Amino acid sequence: YGGAVISYDWDTDPEKREQIPDFYGYVPSNPRQRSLVFATMVFFSAGMMMIRCLTIILLGMIGIGWALAYIGLDLTLYLALKMLRGDF
């Protein structure tokens, strides 16, 4: 939910839409379509979180080492990308 709210707020900010119109503007101006895009973003992120949790559970059922390896690899890739991009 949090990611959807932040993306929605950033995309609907008039100043950002004016500065970089090619990047911002995927949320339509029509209120009904805006609600649909927001609901879709929330359900998509919830679905992705459910897939990740189920992956960890299934790997844990195979063996705890597999689940820990998945989590470790995921965190390592995340932190490596953050360092490469200079996001710290």
Look at residue 1 and tell me whether its pLDDT is greater than 80: yes
* Residues 6 or more apart whose Cβ sits within 8 Å of residue 66: 59, 60
28-87 per-position pLDDT tens digit: 888 899 999 999 999 999 999 999 999 999 999 999 999 999 999 999 999 999 999 998
Q: What pLDDT shows up at residue 37?
A: 92
From the number of C-beta atoms within 10 Å of its C-beta (0-12, 13-18, 19+), residue 17 rates as middle
Q: What is the dihedral of CA 8, 11, 14, 19, to 10 degrees?
A: 160
Q: How many helices (H) and strands (E) does the chain have?
A: 4, 0
pLDDT at 14: 87
Residue 7's pLDDT is 87
pLDDT of residue 88 exceeding 80, the answer is: no
Structure confidence at residue 2 (pLDDT)? 85
